[in-house]
Amino acid sequence: MSDQPGDDGEQETEPKPKKKKRPFWQELPILIGVALVLTFVIQTFLARVFVIPSESMEQTLHGCAGCYGDRVLVDKLVYTFNDPAPGEVVVFERPSTWNRSEFTSQRSDNAVVSWLQGIGALFGMAAPDEDDVVKRVVAVGGQTIECGPDNRVKVDGKPVDEPYVYWDPMMGEAKQDQFGPITVPEGKLFVMGDNRNNSGDSRSQGGGGVNGLVPVENVIGKVRAIVLPPSRWQGVGDHDPQSLSAPAWQVGIPAGLGIAAAWPTLWLGRRARRLLPFIHSGPQPSTTEPSPSSKPPTADRLVRGRPPGEGGGW
């Protein structure tokens, strides 16, 4: 037998040293790196912040050259399974048929500054070095759009309802150029700015508007909300200009008709609930003639306030 210690199978276990917590200055670069990766993934595949560079979408979206324009959140997933619909505000890559003379790169010639500008663009703090445009969809594939002497845009011969339209007083008369009719091919969009007399959109690209059509595949996403500045926090609506519009006094008609139609149903329902206990229970069998005071209470409730023989239905 061995007389070496530990032969009895019992070995002393030394306590494991506690893992030292890293100082914050060592963890900070890791946190920044993770944040940048997550931001890149989110803005590449899910949503992205864009800067509004011009006033063509006033007063829905604010922007101008040299000022702090709205920062908008653009949903990049919504059109994965559906195409843009009339009334939706979209961001898209400027088609090759559009006038590109308006676009100038905003990147610095300095490599470091240019890199910082690229990082800022990811967070919506600087304009991206991309030729992207934001407009509102007015007509989609298969529809015919035009604007005549009456200054009204029509789709398939019907005037559209555009409460979002703004007329820039600096541009003179509140009037838009005539165009069309143009039949939009499938897979294309006809887009216009809300600042109707100060917007370079599908109308102004030549070819009578044909050159201004936007391929659906150029669409980056749908504008969901204004995220900066805080004073402008709000969602961005997508009022359908082709929806049936009615004067204000007619707006309450559907609700009024619904209430009027529901009232008889509610009244009959009350009557039915009062009858159910009597129908289900019925008169109780008795070997003796019931006295007036022993009449079923349900029957007494049903005839309360209505003398026998008096007209009136349930």
Residue 198 contacts residue 171 (beta carbons within 8 Å): yes
Checking DSSP bridges between strand 158-159 and strand 89-93, what pairing results, if any? unpaired
Q: Which of 76, 135, 188, 222 is catalytic?
A: 135
Q: Which of 2, 18, 19, 56 is catalytic?
A: 56
Query: Would you state the pLDDT for residue 220?
Result: 94
pLDDT by 10s per residue, the chain, length 314: 555 555 555 555 666 666 677 777 778 888 888 887 887 777 777 888 888 888 999 999 998 766 778 999 999 999 998 999 999 999 999 998 898 755 555 666 777 777 777 767 666 556 665 678 999 999 999 999 999 999 999 999 999 999 999 999 988 888 888 898 999 999 999 999 999 999 999 998 888 788 999 999 999 999 999 998 899 999 998 888 888 543 332 333 333 434 344 444 444 444 444 544 544 455 544 444 444 444 343 333 333 333 434 443 33
Query: Would you state the pLDDT for residue 130?
Result: 64
Residue 176 contacts residue 145 (beta carbons within 8 Å): no
Integer-rounded Cα Rg, in Å, for the chain is 35
Query: Would you state the pLDDT for residue 187?
Result: 96
Question: How many angstroms separate the most distant Cα atoms in the chain?
Answer: 117
Active site residue 135: yes
Residue 46: strand, helix, or coil: helix
Burial 22-33 (b: 16+ CB within 10 A, else e): eeeeeeeeeeee
How far is 240 from 166, CA to CA, in rounded Å?
16
Active site residue 158: no
Residue 6: strand, helix, or coil: coil
How far is 249 from 217, CA to CA, in rounded Å?
41
Query: Would you state the pLDDT for residue 256?
Result: 41
